[in-house]
Amino acid sequence: MNDILVTRSSMPEIEEYMDEISDMWESHWLTNMGPKHKRFQEELKQYMGVENIDLLTNGHMALELTLQAMNLQGEVITTPFTFASTTHAIVRNGLTPVFCDIDPITYTMDTSKLEELVTDRTCAILPVHVYGNICNIEEIERIAHKYELKVIYDAAHTFGETYKGQGVGSFGDASCFSFHATKVFNSIEGGAVCFKDKHLGESLYELKNFGIHGPEEVSAVGANAKMNEFCAAMGLCNLRHVDEEIAKRKNVVERYRSHLKEVDGIQLNAEQKDVKANYAYFPVVFEEEQFGASRTEVFDALAENGIGARKYFYPLTNTFSAFHGQFDVLETPVALHISKRVLTLPLYADLDLEDVDRICEIILQCKC
């Protein structure tokens, strides 16, 4: 049997992709906001139910350039239970991350601890819809409004989700998505920003193209973060199948749940009211005392059987050696607790349900 990894990229039939890219051998137009980029952008706008969207090379540049386009200074309140990208985007903009703890059930920002972190240096809140779990949007927006703070959601995990019937990208000042190969929906590498303010969109558009404002004017120190035509073509193809892929993921998740629900010492991901889920990840928290085995023991048992679960998100970003002990991890005790106990199990559309049964059997054997 082949190894099973934590995820596997969704891909269209090769003929479909070849068909989509074939006209590029006529046009020779490969990048710099070409026709596929434009078409992909329009199709995404419809699918995601948002008013404004811009495409970028990846989710990280979406975050980094959004912060730059907002011209922020000071402190940004965020969470450490995330991928490196979230914190790096803040620090690489010369901003200071201030870490808020997470909710023990949804793993998103614990908004009961948010307001006490606001100072006169706070300029923005950057919460993460981690694993596709939607943050407490109402409370975040109430606090942001009260203190006149920007809200930028890290929506890397939420492609295709809605909250109370609205596309999840329509909340906050901006929401940043990732279309990386490992995501529910991919354009090989790719990212997008959904935003409200058209001026922000104009700045973003320039920043992803070196800050070029016109043929003879460069008005900002931008980067190169333009999505190329091959990536846009992959996105166009995958978009045709994404609903089907999400439906298959749902079956996989339900199979996992049927085996692992109500097992002592196992916490499964919360099913959220008002959210149309995308089944992006399947995180499981193991409480050693009740379950009888630690997260590491389960991880090792799976690995011995060729199954590659991952410790997303461990270590916490506020413990990274890159930050030379600048942050105190004890200020985010719930995040620390979860990060030491969580495992994300393999999940992708074509994961065989019998493999799910086997993965669960190995996990449950660790119990005794």
**Residues making contact with ligand T4K (CB under 6 A):** 5-9, 58-60, 82-83, 85-86, 128, 154, 156-157, 178, 180-182, 191, 308, 312
Nearer to ligand T4K, 291 or 346 (CB): 346
Nearer to ligand T4K, 131 or 327 (CB): 131
Cβ of residue 246: shortest distance to ligand T4K, in angstroms? 17
Cβ of residue 148: shortest distance to ligand T4K, in angstroms? 25
Give me the residue whose beta carbon is nearest to ligand T4K: 59
Q: How many CB atoms lie within 10 A of CB 284?
A: 21
Nearer to ligand T4K, 12 or 59 (CB): 59
Nearer to ligand T4K, 157 or 208 (CB): 157
Residue 51, H or E segment = none
Report d(CA 55, CA 227) in Å as an integer. Answer: 6
Nearer to ligand T4K, 293 or 302 (CB): 302
Cβ of residue 141: shortest distance to ligand T4K, in angstroms? 20
Report d(CA 250, CA 241) in Å as an integer. Answer: 15
Task: Answer whether the bond into residue 313 is a cis peptide, omega within 30°.
Answer: yes
Cβ of residue 214: shortest distance to ligand T4K, in angstroms? 29
Own/partner pairs, 356-362, CB within 8 angstroms, 24+ separation: 356/252, 356/255, 356/256, 356/259, 357/255, 357/259, 358/305, 359/4, 359/256, 359/302, 359/307, 360/256, 360/259, 360/260, 361/259, 362/301, 362/302, 362/305, 362/307
Q: Which ranges of 49-180 does DSSP label H, i.e. alpha helix?
A: 59-69, 84-91, 137-147
Task: Answer whether the bond into residue 315 is a cis peptide, omega within 30°.
Answer: yes
Cβ of residue 131: shortest distance to ligand T4K, in angstroms? 9
Report d(CA 223, CA 225) in Å as an integer. Answer: 6
Cβ of residue 290: shortest distance to ligand T4K, in angstroms? 28
Nearer to ligand T4K, 88 or 213 (CB): 88
Residue 174, H or E segment = strand 174-178
